[in-house]
Amino acid sequence: MRSGLDRIRAFDRRRPLAWDTAVTAFWAVAAVLDYTSGGWRNVAHDVTAPEPLVLLMSLCFSLPLLLRRRYPMAVLLLMAPVSLVNVWTGAVVQAALLQLIPAFQIALRFPLRRLGVAGLVLCAPVVAGATRIPDIWDRQLVSYLWGFVFVALLGIAVRTRRDYTEALVERAHRLEHERDQQARLAAAAERTRIAREMHDIIGHNLSVITGLADGGAYAAAKSPERAAQALEAIGTTSRQALSELRRLLGVLRDDHPDADRAPQPTLDDLAPLIEQVRRAGLPVHLELRGEPGPPTPLTPGRQLTVYRVVQESLTNTLKHASAPADAPLSAAVTLAFTRTHVDAHITDTGTNTTTRTSTATRSAADEPEREPPTPPPIPALPQGIMGMRERAALYNGTIEAGPLPEHGGWHVHLRLPLEDTPQ
């Protein structure tokens, strides 16, 4: 039965005019059959009413139903004079009850005030006719009142259910839209995180390989043993970079649920990182102040942030810094632990610090000739400092980066609150 009602509603939505025509034709035929069979005489107060008038009233009650949905109030007003004539003549044709159909449409679509007006329009002709035929007062008026109350309550119930269903559908669409937005935001955040990891891993290792290759090329002419050591270091670094890249890509692939999920770097991995940078030709001094023990706990995410900031800073030094004329290029890393914060200071003695945050404008030809020659600085990518700022912001940390005002060089300062820092 429910499927049949759904099909009727679907047909009504597709072809409303055809449905209205069918409904109107059905009630018109019923009204005409009531006239031709003489059934109206069974309830009439005056059976001597003119038959042409009875037929006309039957058609006037049924044919306007074609416009019942578009103009229900107008249809009800059009039927009101016919209803007055129907009661006044005593014919009392049963087709007069068709006035309840536009009254239902008013209850379904309009506010209660309009519904009250419809009730007056429906009952006023009966009250007026009762002044001429008192017997109609009890018999007709009560029927009209009960019929109107029924269709009014039915219309209000259907409207309430329809509004509730529409609200549920709208809420479902809104939730679906919000879910899609959340999915897009999550995907964008994940792409940003992956891009940051790729930048840190590949950028650092390629910088180390570039430094080793330049040093090996210089040493090949004078010390073949040093060149062999440089080639060996290049091979080791390349394999390490390839392994980290495969691990990252393996985690991202859905068809490899058992991909290698090696732990992320921690503070214990800073010493191997600095040693790798030293092998690439950049002397780095590491200094620790305080202990990251139980009094100053540092979560794995914060340790990864410190590691990546140090890694990116040293990578930028390898890429973009040129050694001063009177001293070799060097860098220093200082980690200071307190009860509330960890501070990481990374400094170097490079001279062309403007290339750290913008496209490189200097090359090795601008530097005094010295041995070993410094390769041309690689154009800087904004993802470096941006990535450091994003990592620090995840834990309410701050990043300050800029040239040193006194002796030249570049300085990066990371200040990161601990897990238990009061907000």
Give the percent of the chain with pLDDT over 70. Answer: 73
Domain ranges of the chain: 2-133, 268-423
Q: Choose the weakest-confidence range: 89-93, 243-247, 388-392, 405-409.
A: 243-247
Contact call for residues 290 and 296 (beta carbons, < 8 A): yes
| Mean pLDDT (whole number) for 382-408 | 80
- Residue 122 CB partners (closer than 8 Å, separation 6+): 76, 80, 83, 99, 100, 103, 144, 148
Q: For residue 346, give the nearest of 358, 335, 332, 357 by alpha carbon.
A: 332
Q: For residue 59, give the nearest of 85, 95, 91, 13 by alpha carbon.
A: 95
Question: Looking at the predicted structure, is the pLDDT value of residue 137 above 70?
Answer: no
Architecture of domain 268-423 in this structure: 2-Layer Sandwich (3.30)
Q: What's the pLDDT at 221?
A: 65
Q: For residue 140, give the nearest of 176, 213, 77, 90 by alpha carbon.
A: 90
Q: Choose the weakest-confidence range: 220-234, 242-256, 326-340.
A: 242-256
Question: Looking at the predicted structure, is the pLDDT value of residue 61 above 50?
Answer: yes
Higher pLDDT, 72 or 218: 72
pLDDT band at 75 (very low <50, low <70, confident <90, very high): very high
Q: What's the pLDDT at 101?
A: 92
Question: Looking at the predicted structure, is the pLDDT value of residue 263 above 90?
Answer: no
Question: Looking at the predicted structure, is the pLDDT value of residue 258 above 60?
Answer: no
Mean pLDDT, all residues of the chain = 78
- Residue 118 CB partners (closer than 8 Å, separation 6+): 72, 73, 76, 102, 103, 106, 107, 148
281: left (phi over 0), alpha (psi -120 to 50) or beta: left
